[in-house]
């Protein structure tokens, strides 16, 4: 493998590693964006449900009289994928409203009671699930109940549309990689030719036949090669002259 070929191979290998790094970074950025979207969705749902519950309380309704809250959590459950259930419970720990109708009237798990003691967001976990919750307050600023949203952490199988989108993304990356490789190869070829041009000219001067009495009007390296070849020619002539003198002396003897 020539030096130019080795340089091109190393450059293309470096370009491949760079593209792989960019692809990995894009994947990480996509995962981070997905997590941020999940956090924003969780915060929106809890804020929306908390505001609705507190507004109903402000009208004088008791927590047990908020049937509209049941309709709201069912709509939110249907609107967002990945939500397993939404539960609203009383300060006593009884589920009053839930998208899982079988849970209504049952006692909440003991960890959920921590929602009532936390002013901000509460997070919990269960096998294959994660839970976020927040309390809502009465007009007196006391905890009037809690809201817990249970979400699935199990990724569903990709749909046909998702597979198609992944295929299109992969094709875009492959096309970008091919174009980048072609551009890099062309740039390297041009750059190496320009880099090696003085050496090629010097090699042609050293290998040229015929008269070398005129210096080439080229790069300094070629002129240096011309001076070296001129010195070789003069040395060759001196050697031939000395050889003829030795032959003449031999004939005279």
**Residue 98: beta bridge partners?**
87
Distances (CA, A) of 16 to 1, 59, 183: 20, 64, 13
Which of the listed residues 134, 156, 178 is the one where a domain comes to its end?
A: 156
Per-residue pLDDT of the chain (253 residues; tens, 9 = 90+): 566 666 666 676 776 777 777 777 777 777 787 778 888 888 889 999 999 999 999 888 888 888 899 999 999 998 888 889 999 999 989 999 999 888 888 999 888 888 888 888 888 877 888 999 999 998 888 888 999 999 988 876 766 777 788 788 878 878 887 887 788 777 777 777 777 777 677 777 667 666 655 666 566 777 777 777 777 777 877 888 788 877 777 676 5
Residue 55 shares a structural domain with residue 104: yes
Q: Is the pTM above the cut of 0.75?
A: no
Q: What is the CATH number of the domain that holds 64?
A: 3.30.450.20
Residue 119 shares a structural domain with residue 169: no
The whole-number pLDDT of residue 215 equals: 62
Residue 88 shares a structural domain with residue 181: no
Domain that holds residue 177: 161-252
Residue 144 shares a structural domain with residue 182: no
Strand-strand pairing, 129-137 and 143-152: antiparallel
Residue 192 shares a structural domain with residue 241: yes
Which of the listed residues 156, 185, 204 is the one where a domain comes to its end?
A: 156
The whole-number pLDDT of residue 147 equals: 93
Which of the listed residues 156, 186, 215 is the one where a domain comes to its end?
A: 156
Residue 151 shares a structural domain with residue 179: no
Residue 69 shares a structural domain with residue 182: no
What is the rounded distance in angstroms from the CA atom of residue 44 to the CA atom of residue 42? 5
Is residue 106 within 8 A of residue 88, CB to CB? The reply is no
Residue 142 shares a structural domain with residue 68: yes
The whole-number pLDDT of residue 99 equals: 92
Residue 64 shares a structural domain with residue 129: yes
Residue 189 shares a structural domain with residue 142: no
What is the rounded distance in angstroms from the CA atom of residue 207 to the CA atom of residue 223? 14
What is the rounded distance in angstroms from the CA atom of residue 87 to the CA atom of residue 103? 8
Is residue 83 within 8 A of residue 150, CB to CB? The reply is yes
Residue 142 shares a structural domain with residue 247: no
What is the rounded distance in angstroms from the CA atom of residue 131 to the CA atom of residue 42? 10
Residue 188 shares a structural domain with residue 205: yes
Number of domains in the chain: 2
């Amino acid at each position: 493998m020539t030096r130019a070929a080795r340089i091109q191979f190393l450059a293309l290998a470096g370009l491949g590693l760079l593209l792989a790094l960019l692809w990995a970074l894009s994947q990480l950025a996509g995962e981070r964006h997905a997590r941020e979207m999940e956090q924003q969705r969780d915060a929106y749902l809890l804020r929306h449900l908390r505001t609705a519950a507190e507004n109903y309380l402000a009208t004088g309704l008791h927590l047990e009289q908020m049937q509209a809250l049941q309709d709201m959590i069912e709509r939110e459950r249907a609107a967002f994928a990945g939500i397993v259930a939404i539960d609203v419970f009383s300060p006593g720990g009884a589920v009053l409203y839930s998208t899982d109708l079988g849970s209504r009237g049952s006692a909440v798990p003991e960890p959920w009671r921590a929602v009532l003691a936390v002013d901000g967001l509460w997070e919990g976990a269960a096998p294959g699930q994660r839970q976020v919750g927040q309390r809502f307050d009465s007009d007196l600023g006391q905890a009037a109940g809690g809201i817990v949203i249970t979400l699935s952490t199990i990724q569903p199988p990709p749909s046909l549309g998702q597979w198609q989108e992944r295929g299109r993304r992969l094709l875009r990356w492959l096309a970008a990689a091919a174009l980048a490789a072609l551009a890099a190869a062309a740039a390297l070829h041009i750059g190496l030719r320009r880099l090696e041009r003085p050496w090629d000219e010097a090699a042609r001067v050293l290998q040229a036949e015929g008269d070398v009495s005129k210096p080439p009007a080229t790069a300094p390296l070629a002129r240096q090669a011309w001076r070296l070849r001129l010195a070789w020619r003069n040395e060759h002539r001196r050697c031939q002259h000395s050889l003829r003198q030795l032959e003449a002396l031999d004939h005279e003897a």
